[in-house]
Structure 1
């Protein structure tokens, strides 16, 4: 049995009891369909997903049984009402201008503690229907951690909550496709290897889009 990802007392006592109800309600409101849940590994892993909308993190959290850990900008933790809740919802603050090394160390520590860490390889939101070139970081994290990488493709969030909109337009279905996990065992650790792994992860995400 692997180590369980730690959560705050508030999250365990007050948020967790309502999670099954709120997740089910969220999926119903946003018409979320999920494919491949049986492929999610037990214990810690890297959830690597495409990114086209601010709606992507809550959509992913609504389909996974365990809360995912996201790295979020420190400024979000100062937003009234939302900010104080973010740590209990699995978000980890990252200071503006933090280097790749600091972010990597935070992510590796979460994985060692048994958490499922979600990362968007593209680094920012892509335009509707498009994919961006992956950043080197996801490859570096996959190689150094040697944890399973779970490719995920999200379809439809860019139509429900596109860039520039503050409120979602309900009605368009959202689909989440989960692929086979893969572990990257590379003896050599270099920027070249990290780029190759990052590109392989991105290609796996793209392939999932063709299954719809």
Structure 2
């Protein structure tokens, strides 16, 4: 109980403090220093994300960082729990936005920072809005931004792997950027496994070799969701 209270207190206090940092970012943008602003946003987001994980008492092991190519990519990851976003921001050192559920757009301050890191909000209950989000993610990928997609569409809250929705994966095909499969093990044990009390967990992140979509045949592109699911499933460790 104490850890949960401490974590949420820290979360809200840092969120308020981040308004000062946000003002600094906005000043850089106003002065035309967009690149410096982007770098500062990345550094702030990474530091905050790591601190959120640290204060859960969890340990994180990351394997396969050498598999991330230079340049922008689409990370495709399984989605076990609410801590997956800070895990990927904090422990994969490449600026990245997320194709995130529309509900996150309603959270004050957090949604502002998500826009700063080039997140796209997707309403999966609305086909037209979903297509708009995919088009926006393609645009960002073509502009040289990296993105993260959770193709299950929702948290599994377990070490099980759901079916993959193909929509977001098509954005990498259209933008012709590499896809990097990521497997997260154990993140659901921080919160979802404990009736929403925060507890320490062992987390293992496995980054697989990239798939270069520009080298795939049409048949291989059509089979991408299945192939990505197989790669991620192969790295699921049920000890976590």
Scaled to the shorter chain, the TM-score interval is: 0.7 to 0.9
Q: 1:143 and 1:20, CA in 2 relative to 1: closer, same or farther beyond 3 A?
A: closer
Task: Measure how far apart 1:186 and its partner are.
Answer: 4.3
Partner secondary structure for residue 85 of structure 1: helix
TM-score (norm 1): 0.79
Q: In the TM superposition, what whole-angstrom CA distance separates every residue of 1:29-76 from its partner, at most 9, and x where no partner exists?
A: 431111111111111111000111111111111112123211234443
Whether the 8 Å contact between 1:68 and 1:118 is mirrored in structure 2 is: yes
Q: 1:25 and 1:115, CA in 2 relative to 1: closer, same or farther beyond 3 A?
A: same
Tell me whether 1:34 sits opposite 2:62 in the alignment: yes
TM-score (norm 2): 0.71
Aligned-partner Cα distance in 2 for 1:139–1:12: 25
Whether the 8 Å contact between 1:45 and 1:116 is mirrored in structure 2 is: yes
For 1:198, the equivalent position in structure 2 comes to: 225
Question: Which protein shows a greater Rg?
Answer: 2
Q: 1:169 aligns with which of 186, 199, 215?
A: 199
Tell me which stretches of 4 or more aligned residues in structure 1 moved more than 6 Å: none
Aligned-partner Cα distance in 1 for 2:60–2:52: 8
Task: Measure how far apart 1:156 and its partner are.
Answer: 0.7
1:53-92 mapped onto 2 (5 Å cutoff): 53-92=81-120
- Identify unmatched segments of 5+ residues in structure 1: 1-6
Aligned-partner Cα distance in 2 for 1:102–1:50: 23
For 2:4, the equivalent position in structure 1 comes to: none
Q: 1:24 and 1:106, CA in 2 relative to 1: closer, same or farther beyond 3 A?
A: same
For 2:20, the equivalent position in structure 1 comes to: none
Tell me whether 1:181 sits opposite 2:181 in the alignment: no
Whether the 8 Å contact between 1:142 and 1:183 is mirrored in structure 2 is: no
Q: Choose between structure 1 and 2 for higher RCO, CA contacts under 8 A separated by at least 6 residues.
A: 1
For 1:4, the equivalent position in structure 2 comes to: none
Q: 1:157 aligns with which of 154, 172, 187?
A: 187
Aligned-partner Cα distance in 1 for 2:185–2:234: 13
Whether the 8 Å contact between 1:41 and 1:181 is mirrored in structure 2 is: yes
Q: 2:170 aligns with which of 107, 120, 140?
A: 140
- More deviation in 72-81 or 150-159? 72-81
Q: Provide the aligned C-alpha RMSD in A.
A: 3.0
Number of corresponding residues: 202
Partner secondary structure for residue 87 of structure 2: helix
